Every structure is written in structure tokens, then in C-alpha cells.
């Protein structure tokens, strides 16, 4: 079956899911950077560097603010790995759906955090959400993708283009286009996140809630359709 046929893949590996989640990833990165002191929600390498630099400058409180999202990210990975080990379920109780519901619920709470809370409270929550998304959705159309940052996607784009140019691999051209689409949507999400954050402040994150609800609705509709189709993908 052609790789371009979206129905060949489970709902959580389809392109529309990857694009929506990439928009969420880009939005959240811009959101915390714009509103929460230049700290990244997704790019923990950047936070590690910020942590090290602030230590060298004896900025202990600032170093702690940079380290906190790293810890939250780590805890989110541990939780997601536990979700993966739950007994197999269908519909709303399938673990990918549980992950999306958790993301949406936590971001909805973030939107209404009072101004009296320190910035790192939001950064902790958003980093936790991003780690759940990163560990829950690792493939699109059977290929490895990241929806919360773009370093790996850029590398994969280059590799697929090289195969197309040097090896005349036609499927590689299609794969490269898919990666470029995800990167482009991530950038669009980041631009939207920056603009909305400056315009609306803390509640801007509700845009991500809307996107996650759309993903969840698509999961449920497609899972129901696939369950009725004998050719549908097997549940994972």
C-alpha cells in the first residue's frame, strides 16, 4: 500500500495529526519564550546551556528556573512510558487519547494561572506537556518525526534530499516533502504563538487546546471508521 495513503496508518501516525501537533509544539515554544523570561518549553538542550551559563554567572535563582523545565520534561517522559504500559484499550481510553486529553486539560489550567504565580510555574507545566507529546507521537506515516522541536526533522529532510539527489530514490522525495511540511507548520505555530502571546498574554495557550481537541476528535472519528473497515490498521 502506498505510503501516501493516510488510511494505511493508525490515527496517531497520520499526517493531519502530525501537522496539528507540530503547530502546537511551535506555539508552545514561542509562548514560554515570549511570556516567561526567554525559557524554552521544548528545547531542553537550550535550557541546559542556559543553566550552565547562569551557574558561571552565579545567578542561582535564574539557574534554577532554567533547570526546572528539564526536570518537568523528564517526569513527563516517565509518565508517558507508564501510559504505554497500560492494558490495550479502544476509543477514548486508548493511551494516545489519554495523553492528548491530559495535555489539553493541563494547558487549559495554564491559561488561567493567576499573575501572582512565578513564571517558572507555567514553564514547568508546558514542559511537562511537551514531553508527553514528544514521547507519545514519534512517527508520521511510519517515519520518525518530532512535533515539539525541529533539529531531528531538519536532519531527516537533509538525508532524504541526499537520497533523492545522489541515489535517485523517488520515495525519498515524498518523504522530504513531508518533513518540510512539518517544519513549515512548526514555524507557523511559532509565529502564531509569538503574536498571540503578545496580544492576549497567558490565555493565548487556549489556541493549543483547540488544536488538541481537533486531534482528539479526529482520533475518535477515524478509530470508529477503522474499526468498521476490515482493511483498517491494526490497533497498537
| The three cell numbers locating residue 201 | 498574554
Ranges of the chain whose pLDDT falls below 50: 1-4, 234-236
**What was the pLDDT predicted at 152?**
87
Q: Domains in the chain, ordered, with CATH?
A: 10-223 (1.20.1250)
Total residue count of the chain as it appears in this document: 236
**What was the pLDDT predicted at 235?**
42
| Axis crossing angle, helix 119-136 with helix 15-35, rounded to the nearest 10 | 160
pTM of the model: 0.87
Is residue 105 within 8 A of residue 98, CB to CB? The reply is: no
| The three cell numbers locating residue 145 | 518525526
Q: What secondary structure letter does DSSP report for 13?
A: G
**What was the pLDDT predicted at 3?**
43
Maximum distance among all alpha carbons in the chain?
63
Is residue 135 within 8 A of residue 76, CB to CB? The reply is: yes
What digits encode the pLDDT tens for the residues 205-234? 999 999 999 999 988 887 666 666 655 554
**What was the pLDDT predicted at 236?**
44
Q: List Cβ neighbours of 236 (8 Å cut-off, separation of 6 or more).
A: 10
Q: How far apart are CA 174 and CA 163, in angstroms?
A: 11
Is residue 81 within 8 A of residue 135, CB to CB? The reply is: yes
Q: How far apart are CA 71 and CA 189, in angstroms?
A: 25
How many other CB atoms are found less than 10 A from the CB of residue 46? Answer: 17
Amino acid at each position: 500500500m502506498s505510503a501516501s495513503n493516510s488510511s494505511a496508518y493508525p490515527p496517531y501516525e497520520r499526517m493531519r495529526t502530525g501537522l496539528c501537533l507540530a503547530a502546537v509544539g511551535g506555539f508552545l515554544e514561542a509562548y514560554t519564550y515570549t511570556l516567561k523570561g526567554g525559557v524554552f518549553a521544548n528545547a531542553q538542550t537550550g535550557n541546559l546551556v542556559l543553566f550552565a551559563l547562569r551557574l558561571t554567572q552565579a545567578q542561582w535563582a535564574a539557574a534554577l528556573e532554567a533547570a526546572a523545565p528539564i526536570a518537568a520534561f523528564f517526569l513527563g517522559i516517565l509518565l508517558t512510558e507508564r501510559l504505554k504500559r497500560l492494558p490495550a484499550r479502544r476509543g477514548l481510553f486508548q493511551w494516545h487519547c489519554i495523553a492528548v486529553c491530559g495535555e489539553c486539560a493541563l494547558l487549559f489550567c495554564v491559561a488561567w494561572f493567576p499573575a501572582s504565580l512565578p513564571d517558572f510555574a507555567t514553564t514547568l507545566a508546558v514542559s511537562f506537556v511537551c514531553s508527553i507529546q514528544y514521547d507519545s507521537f514519534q512517527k508520521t506515516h511510519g517515519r520518525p518525526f518530532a512535533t515539539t522541536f525541529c533539529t531531528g526533522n531538519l536532519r531527516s529532510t537533509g538525508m532524504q534530499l541526499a537520497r533523492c539527489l545522489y541515489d535517485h530514490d523517488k520515495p525519498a522525495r515524498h518523504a522530504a516533502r513531508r518533513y518540510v511540511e512539518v517544519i513549515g507548520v512548526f514555524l507557523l505555530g511559532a509565529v502564531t504563538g509569538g503574536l498571540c502571546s503578545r496580544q492576549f498574554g497567558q490565555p493565548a495557550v487556549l489556541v493549543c487546546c483547540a488544536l488538541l481537541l481537533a486531534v482528539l476528535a479526529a482520533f475518535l472519528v477515524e478509530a470508529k471508521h477503522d474499526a468498521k473497515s476490515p482493511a483498517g490498521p491494526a490497533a497498537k
